[in-house]
Structure 1
Amino acid sequence: AHWLSVRKMPADTPLSEVIADPRIVAAVQKAVDYANEAVSRAESIRRFTLIEGEFTEDNGLLTPSLKIKRAAVTAAYTREIEELYGA
């Protein structure tokens, strides 16, 4: 909610609208660019997509110790991953 209010968006803005907002995409791109300054090109993030949804233990995307279940995430977001890699 705070992150949205700083960007002059109502706290109840639907996530689908948040991830489609060019200001939000630009803010995330700025953070990615900053992070990329600290790593080599091979380690850098070149493309990303914002997704609607959360990674939780309840939906099977995280373990009880909050680690990502890669196979479950890959299965849940196959289309998005393929789009990122140009498949």
Structure 2
Amino acid sequence: MLTISESAAEVIKLVLAGGDSPEGSGLRIAPGDEGLQASIAGEPQQDDEVVEASGVRVFLEPQVASLLGDKVLDAERDDNGELSLAVRD
């Protein structure tokens, strides 16, 4: 099962708070045009795997859940100092 680092949880909390997301919302990760796509979702879709940690919820589309099963969702700063989420082994 995907592990969510404390720093990733803080980034997700900021994203959800900035979007005025309703209670129970989470970050949904699904296949996108170029790799994986993350978006705010009010609730998981029927077959999503739900990972909860440090007060946040991440909804994983089934294919993504199997792909990220043994990974860690972490946060990192880019060259401009912007925070982003990253998947690590």
Please, what TM-score do these two structures have when normalized by structure 1?
A: 0.31
Higher helix share: 1
Higher strand share: 2
Higher relative contact order (CA 8 A, sep 6+): 2
Please, what TM-score do these two structures have when normalized by structure 2?
A: 0.30
